[in-house]
Structure 1
């Protein structure tokens, strides 16, 4: 627990290792590369990266040069793939710190070559329908040729694309993306020869689409034990959530029937009730809308409804007639034992209430909430 505030995050590194091992078994013989961008989806990139590598991940993926540098400065020597092109002025850092860049334009490729690398591995990204970034499938072979022409400064180490709807196995668009990718890849190989690493699968692809598990998979949200989407929930049974968001009760009072609470006074108490204040709010990543969509926390192993609007630093919950004391343990995301057995609130539960995805929930937990990595007994 934090010694500076009564709100904190616990990260179960044993769960990370378990999830990576589980995904390796699913993806075999493809290698697993762990996606640790956005500070490891809010779980702590350095600790997650080390746990993932301990469990057999063969590489790491990040979104930004700064994220790659953080891993290198922590002494992590594994391959680190940058998932999209970066500002040209970062080329020197990419080469110096042995990051593996993604390329899809000649301008960025030339910025890398201008730094003077030797044998810098690069991955070519092909846009097969996500329409975010990447070379058009018809232009992929020419881009691969441009990379080959700039040897020995750079070498083509990988070709990949990104799936848009892999979390919905019923959507035929994934098959179309695979078809477009394979057509483009065939022309790349005709032009420049074989490529060491081919990858298509994200977490949902790894779990639900065997045809996308090529020489490696890029596992992101699944390594944190969060489902990529309801369409693949049934394939996530072996995954363990790694994050718990916890706090302690900071204040207890009796609210009288007919009184109202918090900004806007939108919640009216129908009867006398015990109200507990929790010292965590929307500045910490508890969405303000959670109070108007039936959000709950666990205290004493029972579900307690959030009442009134979540404020920047605090929220309040209705504890009915139960005895609650300052310092009592509160679980916002995670598990707690209670009189009726273990109770659980998942990141996905928040996501469902807020019409969003589990990714946004865990990534949205503010950096001002301290993280405490721990090791589960069987991890």
Structure 2
């Protein structure tokens, strides 16, 4: 398979395997649920799910029912959990495809049970607790815990067509230096579980550790942990110890030079004429833009790699193209030359975090923003093993 695309995201499956091995080494016997929502954080959910399943992933977490059904339709048989809201109209589809919802109210559980009953089956669910995110979940503060426990007890005892397979929460500040909030959330989570146990409700799977908690808090890994951003070789923040798990970035975003020209001093570049050449300037036009998910905020601020050297972006980034100043190149830069926007080229590298910082965002957002116009090209041992072109 040959890569001839105007721009592409290269996905290094060897780096993916390395990251999973690093994660599994610290988890030990703890089950690994891989979070592959938003197209596996932009890396391509179908190919990655297959790879991760082969590497021993216990299950997968997604954000929507459709993301889960897409996995099922492509042969994924591991447990799938939808982390977010699900409309009643989707319950039957979830049950048909053996996809578990996150139950966060008694009425939701009752409705889901009714659909399962009508379909003559018993469906697995996970209970979601809100311990401090204030997003979705049964409340767990001192004023609410008794009602929450009784609600879950009723789900367990009265609703015969659903089975509580797991219970979980999500940490708000696990990637922060201050650990006060995380321990507060853990205490609330443990309190609910303790009370459920005393009421005879024994839930098999308990999970609260996200990527940051997997790194920072060994005691919070329980019997399942949810790894997201670290799967893809990116750290959740600068506050986690990078020596605990040594990651390798999985994605490299690249394009190529499509045109090179030299212009005179005073020539303007791009929309709005925001850049004015102060000298005879050699400009290389690159075939990628904000229409592909590369941030327009990097106009006149970002840089790219060509020939293992760094070159500045000049002018406003267009929807489909951008321009760079290659005047000082001591070799001929020509049409077809590889351009790296994120990742390594030779001894040089542009980390995702650098690009995201200029865009006033963060690494999660950048990789998720690389859209379906950009094919994903999968490599193993330096060879292309798969290409996903979403447009055909």
Please say if residues 156 and 201 of structure 2, whose CA atoms lie closer than 8 Å, have aligned partners that are also in contact.
no
Paired residue for 1:312? Answer: 319
Shift of 1:118: 2.9
SS in 1 for 2:324: strand
Distance 1:146 1:20 in 2: 38
Query: Cα deviations across residues 350-377 of structure 1 (Å, max 9, x unaligned)?
Result: 1122221100000000111111112136
Counterpart of 1:376 (choices 358, 381, 389) is: 381
Instruction: Kindly indicate whether residue 199 of structure 2 is the aligned counterpart of residue 194 of structure 1.
Output: no
Residue-by-residue CA offset, 1:324-358 (whole Å, 9 max, x unaligned): 10000111111111xxxx11112111112222110
1:225 is aligned to: 233
> What is aligned with 2:340?
331
1:83 to 1:309, Cα distance in 2 relative to 1, 3 A: same
Output one character per residue of 1:161-219: Cα deviation in whole Å (capped at 9) or x when no partner.
Answer: 00111111334211111111111221122224221111011101101111221111000
Scaled by the length of structure 1, the TM-score of the pair is: 0.94
Q: Alpha-carbon deviation of 1:9? A: 1.1
- Give the whole-Å Cα distance in 2 for the aligned partners of 1:85 and 1:150: 23
Kindly indicate whether residue 183 of structure 2 is the aligned counterpart of residue 178 of structure 1.
Answer: no
Q: Aligned partners of 1:321, 1:236: CA distance in 2, in Å?
A: 41
Alpha-carbon spacing, 1:181–1:237, altered in 2? closer, same or farther (3 Å): closer
Give the whole-Å Cα distance in 2 for the aligned partners of 1:236 and 1:297.
31
Q: Distance in 1 between matches of 2:294 and 2:185?
A: 36
Q: Which residue is 2:263 aligned to?
A: 255
What is the number of residues matched between the two proteins? Answer: 373
Q: Work out the CA distance in 2 between the residues paired with 1:110 and 1:92.
A: 14
The 10-residue stretch of structure 1 (226-235 or 59-68) with the greater mean CA deviation from structure 2: 226-235
Moved more, 186-195 or 101-110: 186-195
Post-superposition offset of 1:2 = 4.3
Mapped to 1, the partners of 2:322 and 2:177 lie a distance apart of 38
Contact 2:64 2:85 in 1 (8 A): no
Unaligned 5+ segments in structure 2 are 386-392
Q: SS at 2:299's partner residue?
A: helix
Q: Where does residue 343 of structure 1 map in the other structure?
A: 348
Correspondence list, 1:124-203, <5 A = 124-137=127-140, 138=145, 139-203=147-211
Separation in structure 2 between the aligned mates of residue 29 and residue 233 of structure 1, nearest angstrom: 22
Q: With the length of structure 2 as denominator, give the TM-score of the two structures.
A: 0.91
Aligned equivalents of 1:360 and 1:148: distance in 2? 38
Alpha-carbon contact 1:226-1:241 (below 8 Å) kept: yes
| Structure 2 Cα separation of the partners of residues 196 and 69 of structure 1 | 24
1:16 match: 16
Superposed CA offset, 1:8-61 (max 9, x none): 111112222221121111122311110010011000001111111121111111
8 Å contact from structure 1 (residues 11, 244) kept in 2: yes
Q: Map 1:227-242 onto structure 2 (within 5 A).
A: 227-232=235-240, 234-235=242-243, 238-242=246-250
Kept in 2: contact 1:16–1:242 (CA 8 A): yes
- The alignment's C-alpha RMSD in Å is 1.7
Q: Counterparts of 1:244 and 1:98 in 2: how far apart (Å)?
A: 34
Aligned 1:90-109 pairs, distance under 5 A: 90-109=90-109
In 2, are the aligned partners of 1:102 and 1:122 still within 8 Å (CA)? yes
Aligned to 1:230, what secondary structure does the other structure show? coil
Which residue of 266, 279, 291 maps to 1:283?
Answer: 291
Deviation readout 1:196-247 (Å, 9 max, x if unpaired): 1110111011011112211110000000001111111624762111111111
**Shift in alpha-carbon separation, 1:289–1:377, aligned structure 2, 3 A:** closer
Alpha carbons 1:95, 1:120 under 8 Å: kept: yes
> Equivalents in 2 of 1:143, 1:363: separation in Å?
36
